[in-house]
Amino acid sequence: MQYQKFGKLFLCALLTGIVGACTNSSDSGDSDSSDLPPPVQLEERSLSTTTDENGVARFSFTLASDDAAYQLLVFPTDGQSVRLTALNDNAGPVNLDPLYLQVAFNVATDPSVSVNSFNFPFVPYNVMRTNYTATYILTNPSDGTPAPFTELNAKLLTKKDSDLSRGTVGVNVVLVGPVAGSQESRDSIQSIMSIAQGYLSGANLTLDIQYAAFPGSDILPNPALDDPYYLDLSKHMRKNSINIVFATDVDGLYAQDAIYSISTGDAGPALPSTKSVAVLSILDLTGGDGLFDYNGDGATQVNGDETRLAGEEVAQLIGHYLGVTHIVENDSYLTTGSDALTDTQSCVTIIDCRDEKDVRGNIMFPFPIEILDGNLDTYKRDHMTQQQTQLLQRSVLVN
């Protein structure tokens, strides 16, 4: 396993075992990992518009005949919030009712102060060789009032892909903090990524993995809160890839609620931003002892197979980043919502979920369900449905 620190083999971490003990790229003059060839070539176009008197902004663009999918990123400024309200093509409005919002627009229809992103097409649509207009509303977060006559900038990313049934996605595995940089953790993380690859191979997805280290504290900020730390991190990583960050600990995670990682939303940005990461806490995944599947003195396990649990978490984070949402949402013991795909199963209570193999075993089920055998074992989450696979393969990051 090779570790790269800003684009160079990270021998320092291998020798010391502690990421934080090494120097920054600026100390040695090294180029950073953003100089590495991207795993997928995307065409990038800059768009700009100005909101009208009601704070409404419209971006119009035309797709080339061989464009297979696109992502539109809108960047508000001055702390304002932006959200998508409509999408039109030559045939008229694209359906954005709640049915489809659950599938691909979770991020886009929520107000965002850093970047608003969405992928298209989503099931059951296909990209049309036509003109599109995306409509947004820009508001002032302090009082929710529209922000009129304000410049708004966007990036349109498109991919060429003649085969949407299978593909490869770049994954930057980023280690931050002393626990993440230990030799034991590095060995476990390699196994974790192999497990995630095994599960996602059923969705015809291959992971092109690069390992890197990045300086950071023992407890990283919550990536859902638009912290500039993650903008800096993503700028230093290989482009057009998913950044999976293994941290010693992360603010806002609660292992007692089976929450071990944080995704910044479904359909993550393909460009660097405060939301261009998904983060896991090693301390939460390992029950606080910092070692995967350790059963010696002082061991505190949260799962009978912590390495496998982490592999499931990584597979789910990659699914989220590529635009696939949870198959169900739960509040305590009851299901409060489900995705809009017609070939995923649902359940009403946690007991129903435990009894339904196709539900509890889906990679995108939101948390592991315990097998009631007294051994802390949980059911595997190891498969996706055909429509989940279609949605995943349509992401601009998959080629």
Same domain, 175 and 75: no
CATH of the domain at 317: 3.40.390
CB-based contacts of 168: which residues, under 8 Å, 6+ apart? 39, 40, 205, 206, 207, 208, 398, 399
| DSSP 3-state of 338 | strand
Model pLDDT, residue 5:
41
Token digits for 315?
Answer: 């597979």
Model pLDDT, residue 110:
61
Model pLDDT, residue 198:
97
Model pLDDT, residue 256:
54
Per-residue pLDDT tens over the stretch 311-354: 999 999 999 999 898 888 877 677 777 887 889 988 888 888 88
Asked whether residue 232 is assigned to any structural domain, the reply reads yes
Distance separating alpha carbons of residues 127 and 134, to the nearest angstrom:
14
Token digits for 190?
Answer: 């390699």
Please name the residue that has the structure tokens 């892909």.
161
Distance separating alpha carbons of residues 363 and 312, to the nearest angstrom:
7
DSSP label of 221:
P
Higher-confidence residue of 270 and 335: namely 270
Per-residue pLDDT tens over the stretch 171-211: 999 999 888 778 888 999 999 999 999 999 999 999 999 99
Q: Which of 160, 176, 207 lies at the terminal end of a domain, its last residue?
A: 160
Q: Which of 160, 179, 209 lies at the terminal end of a domain, its last residue?
A: 160
CATH of the domain at 117: 2.60.120.380
Element (H, E) at 314: helix 306-321
Same domain, 29 and 77: no
Asked whether residue 368 is assigned to any structural domain, the reply reads no
The mean per-residue pLDDT over the stretch 25-29 comes to 33
Total domains in the fold of the chain: 2
Model pLDDT, residue 138:
95
Same domain, 129 and 63: yes
Asked whether residue 337 is assigned to any structural domain, the reply reads no
Distance separating alpha carbons of residues 353 and 334, to the nearest angstrom:
10
Same domain, 29 and 48: no
Q: Which of 160, 184, 219 lies at the terminal end of a domain, its last residue?
A: 160
Mean pLDDT estimate for the chain:
83
Per-residue pLDDT tens over the stretch 224-250: 888 999 999 999 999 999 999 999 999
pLDDT at 24 over 60: no
pLDDT tier at 146 (50, 70, 90 boundaries)? very high
Same domain, 247 and 98: no
Asked whether residue 262 is assigned to any structural domain, the reply reads yes
Model pLDDT, residue 94:
81
Same domain, 63 and 148: yes
Same domain, 57 and 30: no
* Amino acid present at 102: Q
Asked whether residue 234 is assigned to any structural domain, the reply reads yes
The mean per-residue pLDDT over the stretch 104-118 comes to 64
- Evaluate if pTM is beyond 0.75: yes
High-pLDDT (> 90) share of the chain, %? 45
Please name the residue that has the structure tokens 């339904």.
356
Pick the range with the lowest mean pLDDT from 3-7, 127-131, 267-271.
3-7
Same domain, 268 and 153: no
Asked whether residue 233 is assigned to any structural domain, the reply reads yes
Same domain, 13 and 55: no
Same domain, 172 and 195: yes
Asked whether residue 351 is assigned to any structural domain, the reply reads no
Same domain, 103 and 237: no
pLDDT at 98 over 80: no
Asked whether residue 220 is assigned to any structural domain, the reply reads yes
Q: Could you tell me the residue range of the domain that residue 312 belongs to? A: 3-35+166-326+375-393
DSSP label of 20:
G
Residue 229 CA, chain-centre distance (Å), reads 16
Same domain, 320 and 245: yes
